[in-house]
Structure 1
């Protein structure tokens, strides 16, 4: 289902912007497959200044990553004028993005992974983890290291926690081998059948939908309309 949005007061845009960009046949967003993998992560990260999702707290949470690399990467614009529905709008990730074309810069980057979360140690659950740039690059370094990777190896777990310092949020990622998991965290590692079941249920489609050229055109027109 497309996200439903209504709009409020028009924003102030750069002075050079006077009208919405013209539509062209090539101004359609690319296929979702272009947003997966480590290459897409690096490309998109450079552009970024519910229960489905993993909630990272100050207390370390044990997770098991079940993707070898991100199944989705995206950057998103934040449109404050949207009054109903999500204010976050997925960027096309190309020079043809209409919001980029009117000078609106993407504000958020996410590399998306399927993880088994032990937020409740007794009931592990499948979650989507939207990792920011710094953590995503740490994960890439681990994934591509022959001694430490891949991320989805059967005996590899992690803990993730966050700390708040002034206005900055820092995330702390630690690797744990399955053989040490119970001793270090009190959580028993999953067996092969349990992991296989989670893998069968993991998400593969993009986390945030792309608006097509008509929808983006309407959004841009609303922002530029006096």
Structure 2
């Protein structure tokens, strides 16, 4: 069964191009001067002229395009939508502006790193309040630090492929704290497990919580052992390329203005 590669990354907006934005050519010829110019006799010009004189004869490209349109009309309509919670999660994530976070659980799952190091590291405040509670620390003159006295926590972000469903691996963001980041840094500095995103290297991840203490278990898994030990098919080169293309970047970080954070600090103090 072929795997479906789920796209997660939101494309950056680009400025639309308009011919009106181009400056006018001040060195162009007027109509009278153009007639006096000698013909250059280019091969492209000759071809264009011959094509224009045969308007009643459809081009090979036009016939091919018409044939393709006819074939598309014969195809059954594409299957869209679906039922169940799986479909709910997919459509929810596809329409969300926020990245899908990876959450470790008590059951070990396979993940693959798309980065050889964190793609984003920042400090985050967590303020107990109604509504939004996490805020990016400004680091310099941050009202939540200076006015409220809140100490931010470190957030270390990695792009990974999550194989919780081996038939539907997905790009997710693993927001690691210092404890997990130290473990991953050790793997990144070890010759046997470096770099983290090496093609033939995967990891199993799980966590256990006991007496309010959580321990994470991260174990390297070689590609050759995936199918026998984990019933997971390794990613092909094309799959890896597509997942890389859909990985997240620094633009996912949301930063409030200093005035907004001042308001949050005043509300918390009141």
TM-score by length of 2: 0.60
Paired residue secondary structure (1:109): strand
Paired residue secondary structure (1:162): strand
Q: Deviations over 1:114-171 (max 9, x none)?
A: 1101010111111111112111111111112233200111011001001011111111
- The structure 1 residue matched to 2:263, chosen from 212, 218, 224, is 218
Paired residue secondary structure (1:210): coil
Residue of structure 2 in register with 1:174 after alignment: 219
**Native 8 Å contact 1:95 1:101 kept in 2:** no
**Native 8 Å contact 1:77 1:89 kept in 2:** yes
Unaligned runs of 5+ in 2: 1-97
**Native 8 Å contact 1:69 1:151 kept in 2:** yes
- Alignment map for 1:1-226 (pairs within 5 Å): 52-81=100-129, 83-84=130-131, 86-92=132-138, 94-102=139-147, 103-106=149-152, 108-225=153-270
Q: CA shift at 1:79, angstroms? A: 1.3
Q: CA shift at 1:180, angstroms? A: 1.4
Q: Deviations over 1:88-111 (max 9, x none)?
A: 11222x2522111121112x4321
Q: Which moved more, 1:161-170 or 1:144-153?
A: 144-153
Runs of 4+ in 1 over 6 A off after TM superposition: none
Paired residue secondary structure (2:192): coil
Higher relative contact order (CA 8 A, sep 6+): 1
Paired residue secondary structure (1:153): coil
**Native 8 Å contact 1:63 1:158 kept in 2:** yes
Q: Deviations over 1:181-220 (max 9, x none)?
A: 1122111111111001000000002544121212122222
Q: CA shift at 1:74, angstroms? A: 2.3
Structure with greater helix percent: 2
**1:62, 1:91 → 2: CA distance?**
32
Unaligned runs of 5+ in 1: 1-49
**2:162, 2:99 → 1: CA distance?**
11
Structure with greater strand percent: 1
Question: Higher Cα Rg: structure 1 or 2?
Answer: 2
User: CA distance change for structure 1 residues 51 and 105 in 2, over 3 Å: closer, same or farther?
Assistant: closer
User: CA distance change for structure 1 residues 56 and 75 in 2, over 3 Å: closer, same or farther?
Assistant: same
Residue of structure 2 in register with 1:28 after alignment: none
**1:124, 1:224 → 2: CA distance?**
44
Q: CA shift at 1:51, angstroms? A: 7.2
CA RMSD of aligned residues (A): 1.7
Q: Deviations over 1:2-56 (max 9, x none)?
A: xxxxxxxxxxxxxxxxxxxxxxxxxxxxxxxxxxxxxxxxxxxxxxxx8701121
TM-score by length of 1: 0.71
